[in-house]
């Protein structure tokens, strides 16, 4: 099969069992049978669920949703305090962990272990490059790029340009990255773009890659179930099928649900803002709830259609629309500034990367805690979802090919996206004196930037469609992943279970929006990301140990 062909080897891979390794691999002999701890039967509908993981996860999520909705007027200060305490006191831990993930991935790329093929030495890729990359990138951070593509570079530029400010006791009160660049528009732009790329480049994709590689290796090469606990077999042995493994998988489900809810809530806010901007529709909670319900219903239809007819098709459509919007902004906007800025921003990212990633002795505590620590926790909470989804579609790739594609290529595209969207907005502020984009709410800044370009209504509508379809693909693929974990590693569980999880992702997003808005979304992403960081650090050790046992 041609590498460029988007077709897969199977019409419906989501209903097949994990294939056996092809060629010589180091199979782990275990007494565990996939699904042996499941409840498999009919209770009004057919079910096939892990008795402990599904039950504990579902009860915890339902209880949280009920309490948040019941006390929605009282919980916002709690969420704000929780977010601020975690990012303020444990920011160094998130930054240090992110650096470890990047170093592990880069080390594997250049080591002989990179020659090992996922699925066995004779395995061939299930998807061509077009379909493979479209799915992993759309699932990885699509909504976030739409929401923060304009607002984050502009925020960092403004903070850097305003410079450093001190409050009582000599504590910095500004949000500028590093030492800022007071009064220097050129350097403030470089620093702002470097800080933005730092949050969307190597570090987040290294987090995803660690989880994806652990899942793919221990499932496709070692013959274990496709769940997070399998990666810890080198550490726990047969005990991984008991409570140590239950805790890992429960944490994975909770992190995924709340990480997705954060993204879905952010996406809903931007979609509603765009609809108000274009058509004058209401921006209140009622519209937010209706939009989340509607998009969740569309996601359920996509789930029923399956991986090929649903998320894969939507992902490729979305990548096409995203490329169209990106090309439009580059051509209609400051083309020369974007073209030169791309390389300038890459150089700035490389120059500031050591300082931005330093976990200790930081004076820019607001930036390091409020921006970077939150982002790392958000990416970590997303990592079970994105990692497993990437693993599901990456069989047949070598470790080196897998890591280069998952780590390097999305970073380059993120630089291009942020340079075009954020760079255009900064040009409008600096050169044109257009401050409306700077003064608008975060969810509106993309649309305000587009008002200064031709075909505003069309480009803004494409932006709304992109947010909505990213919403659908995230919910669809997230439900597939959560259901795999909650059914003990089965990949052919009844579709109704994925419908259940998609419904609850929407319900949690609604509860968080009503119970504290963006602060509540951020608080839950950080809270679930913290314990799962320890899981990822253990997975780094397990991956290296597992690869060293593979034939090369």
For residue 133, give every residue at least 6 positions away whose Cβ sits within 8 Å of its Cβ, in sequence order, or none: 319, 405, 409
The confidence score (pLDDT) of residue 340 equals: 94
**Residue 38: helix, strand or coil by DSSP?**
strand
- Please compute the mean of the pLDDT values over residues 461-470 and round it to a whole number: 88
d(CA 178, CA 230): 40
Instruction: Take residue 462 and report the two structure tokens written for it.
Output: 């494409």
Instruction: Take residue 161 and report the two structure tokens written for it.
Output: 């340009």
Q: Which residue is it, tokens 């976990």? A: 359
Secondary structure element (H or E) that encloses residue 332, with its range: helix 313-332
Instruction: Take residue 535 and report the two structure tokens written for it.
Output: 């899981």
| Mean pLDDT lowest among 226-230, 276-280, 490-494 | 490-494
Express each pLDDT in 173-191 by its tens digit.
Answer: 999 999 999 999 999 999 9
d(CA 87, CA 365): 9
Among 34-48, 90-104, 217-231, 522-536, which range has the highest average pLDDT? Answer: 90-104
Task: Provide the 10 A C-beta neighbour count for residue 66.
Answer: 12
| Residue of higher predicted confidence among 287 and 70 | 287
The confidence score (pLDDT) of residue 495 equals: 86
Express each pLDDT in 417-441 by its tens digit.
Answer: 999 999 999 999 999 899 899 999 8
Q: Can you state the percent helix, strand and coil of the chain, rounding each to 5?
A: 75, 5, 20
Range 254-289 burial, b when 16+ CB lie within 10 A, else e: bbbbbbbbbbbbbbbbbbbbbbbbeeeeebeeebbb
Instruction: Take residue 344 and report the two structure tokens written for it.
Output: 């300038």
* H helix runs in 451-493, sequence order: 456-486
For residue 15, give every residue at least 6 positions away whose Cβ sits within 8 Å of its Cβ, in sequence order, or none: 306, 491, 492
The confidence score (pLDDT) of residue 136 equals: 65
Tell me the pLDDT of the chain averaged across its residues. Answer: 87
Name the band, by pLDDT with cuts 50, 70 and 90, for residue 18: confident
For residue 448, give every residue at least 6 positions away whose Cβ sits within 8 Å of its Cβ, in sequence order, or none: 436, 437, 440
Kindly state the DSSP code that residue 242 receives in the 8-state scheme.
Answer: S
Residue 16 pLDDT > 50, yes or no? no
SS (H, E, C) 411-454: HHHHHHHHHHHHHHHHHHHHHHCCCHHHHCCHHHHHHHHHCCCC
For residue 260, give every residue at least 6 positions away whose Cβ sits within 8 Å of its Cβ, in sequence order, or none: 382, 385, 474, 475, 478, 505, 509
The confidence score (pLDDT) of residue 1 equals: 31
Question: Are 295 and 475 contacting, i.e. CB atoms less than 8 angstroms apart?
Answer: yes
Express each pLDDT in 140-164 by its tens digit.
Answer: 566 788 889 999 999 999 999 999 9
d(CA 6, CA 195): 35
Residue 291's nearest CA partner among 276, 310, 311, 269 is 269
Residue 5 pLDDT > 60, yes or no? no
- Please compute the mean of the pLDDT values over residues 218-231 and round it to a whole number: 91
The confidence score (pLDDT) of residue 14 equals: 40
Question: Are 224 and 233 contacting, i.e. CB atoms less than 8 angstroms apart?
Answer: yes
| Residue 429: C-alpha distances to residues 432, 452, 504, 539 (Å) | 6, 11, 41, 45
Residue 216's nearest CA partner among 380, 395, 382, 383 is 395
The confidence score (pLDDT) of residue 8 equals: 38
Instruction: Take residue 204 and report the two structure tokens written for it.
Output: 């987040």
The values of phi and psi at residue 435, to 5°, are -95, -5
The values of phi and psi at residue 524, to 5°, are -75, -30
Secondary structure element (H or E) that encloses residue 270, with its range: helix 243-279
Question: Are 356 and 198 contacting, i.e. CB atoms less than 8 angstroms apart?
Answer: yes
Express each pLDDT in 471-482 by its tens digit.
Answer: 787 788 788 888
d(CA 460, CA 470): 15
Express each pLDDT in 437-454 by its tens digit.
Answer: 999 988 899 999 999 999
Residue 197's nearest CA partner among 133, 244, 152 is 152
For residue 101, give every residue at least 6 positions away whose Cβ sits within 8 Å of its Cβ, in sequence order, or none: 203, 206, 207, 209, 210, 536, 540
Residue 7 pLDDT > 80, yes or no? no
Angle at 52 between CA 50 and CA 57, to 5 degrees: 95
Residue 371 pLDDT > 50, yes or no? yes
The confidence score (pLDDT) of residue 409 equals: 80
Question: Are 12 and 5 contacting, i.e. CB atoms less than 8 angstroms apart?
Answer: no
Residue 2 pLDDT > 70, yes or no? no
Residue 39: Cβ-neighbour burial (10 angstroms; 0-12, 13-18, 19+): middle
The confidence score (pLDDT) of residue 99 equals: 97
d(CA 511, CA 505): 10
d(CA 196, CA 188): 12
Residue 541 pLDDT > 80, yes or no? yes
Name the band, by pLDDT with cuts 50, 70 and 90, for residue 13: very low
Instruction: Take residue 521 and report the two structure tokens written for it.
Output: 């979304």
Express each pLDDT in 378-410 by its tens digit.
Answer: 899 888 878 887 887 889 999 999 999 888 888
- Please compute the mean of the pLDDT values over residues 510-535 and round it to a whole number: 82
129-162 and 374-392 are packed helices; what angle lies between their axes, rounded to 10 degrees? 170
Express each pLDDT in 250-264 by its tens digit.
Answer: 999 998 888 888 888
Q: What is the CA radius of gyration of the chain?
A: 22
The confidence score (pLDDT) of residue 145 equals: 84
Name the band, by pLDDT with cuts 50, 70 and 90, for residue 231: very high
Residue 138 pLDDT > 60, yes or no? no
- Please compute the mean of the pLDDT values over residues 215-221 and round it to a whole number: 93
For the chain, how long is the longest CA-to-CA vector? 69
The confidence score (pLDDT) of residue 396 equals: 92
- pTM for the model stands at 0.89
């Amino acid at each position: 099969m041609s590498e460029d062909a988007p077709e897969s080897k199977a019409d419906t891979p989501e209903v097949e069992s994990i294939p056996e390794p092809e060629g010589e691999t180091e199979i782990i002999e275990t007494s565990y049978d996939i699904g042996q701890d499941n409840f498999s039967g009919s209770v009004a509908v057919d079910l096939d669920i892990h008795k402990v993981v599904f039950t504990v996860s579902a009860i915890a999520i339902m209880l949280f949703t009920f309490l948040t909705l019941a006390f929605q007027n009282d919980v916002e200060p709690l969420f704000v305090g929780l977010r601020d305490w975690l990012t303020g006191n444990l920011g160094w831990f998130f930054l240090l962990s992110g650096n470890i993930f990047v170093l592990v991935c880069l080390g594997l790329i250049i080591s002989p272990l990179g020659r090992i093929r996922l699925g066995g030495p004779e395995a061939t890729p299930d998807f061509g490059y077009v379909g493979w990359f479209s799915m992993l990138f759309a699932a990885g951070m699509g909504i976030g790029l739409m929401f923060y593509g304009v607002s984050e570079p502009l925020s960092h530029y403004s903070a850097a340009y305003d410079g450093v400010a001190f409050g009582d006791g000599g504590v910095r009160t500004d949000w500028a990255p590093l030492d800022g660049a007071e009064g220097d528009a050129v350097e403030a732009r470089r620093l702002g773009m470097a800080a933005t790329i730092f949050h969307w480049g190597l570090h987040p994709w290294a987090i995803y890659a660690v989880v994806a590689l652990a899942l793919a290796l221990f499932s496709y090469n070692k013959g274990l179930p496709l769940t997070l606990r399998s990666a810890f077999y080198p550490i726990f042995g047969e005990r991984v099928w008991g409570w140590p493994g239950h805790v890992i998988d429960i944490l994975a489900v909770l992190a995924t649900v709340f990480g997705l809810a954060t993204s879905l809530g952010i996406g809903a806010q931007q979609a509603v803002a765009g609809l108000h901007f274009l058509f004058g529709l209401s921006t209140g909670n009622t519209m937010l709830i209706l939009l989340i319900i509607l998009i969740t219903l569309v996601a359920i239809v996509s789930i029923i259609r399956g991986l090929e007819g649903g998320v894969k098709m939507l992902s490729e459509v979305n990548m096409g629309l995203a490329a169209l919007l990106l090309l439009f902004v580059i051509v209609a906007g400051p083309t020369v500034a974007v073209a030169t800025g791309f390389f300038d921003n890459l150089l700035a990212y490389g120059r500031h990367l050591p300082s931005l990633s330093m976990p200790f002795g930081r004076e820019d505590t607001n930036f390091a805690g409020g921006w970077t620590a939150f982002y790392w926790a958000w990416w970590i909470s997303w990592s079970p979802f994105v990692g497993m989804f990437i693993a599901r579609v990456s069989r047949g790739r070598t470790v080196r090919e897998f890591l280069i594609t998952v780590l390097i290529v999305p970073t380059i595209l993120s630089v291009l996206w942020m340079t075009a969207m954020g760079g255009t907005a900064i040009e409008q502020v600096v050169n044109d004196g257009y401050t409306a984009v700077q003064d608008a709410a975060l969810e509106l800044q993309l649309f305000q930037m587009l008002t200064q370009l031709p075909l505003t209504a069309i480009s803004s509508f494409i932006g709304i469609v992109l947010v909505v379809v990213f919403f659908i693909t995230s919910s669809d693929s997230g439900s597939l992943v959560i259901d795999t974990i909650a059914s003990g590693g089965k990949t052919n569980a009844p579709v109704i279970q994925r419908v259940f999880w998609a419904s609850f992702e929407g319900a949690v997003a609604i509860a968080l929006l009503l119970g504290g808005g963006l602060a509540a979304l951020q608080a839950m992403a950080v809270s679930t990301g913290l314990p799962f960081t320890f899981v990822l650090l253990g997975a780094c050790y397990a991956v290296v140990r597992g690869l060293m046992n593979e034939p090369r």
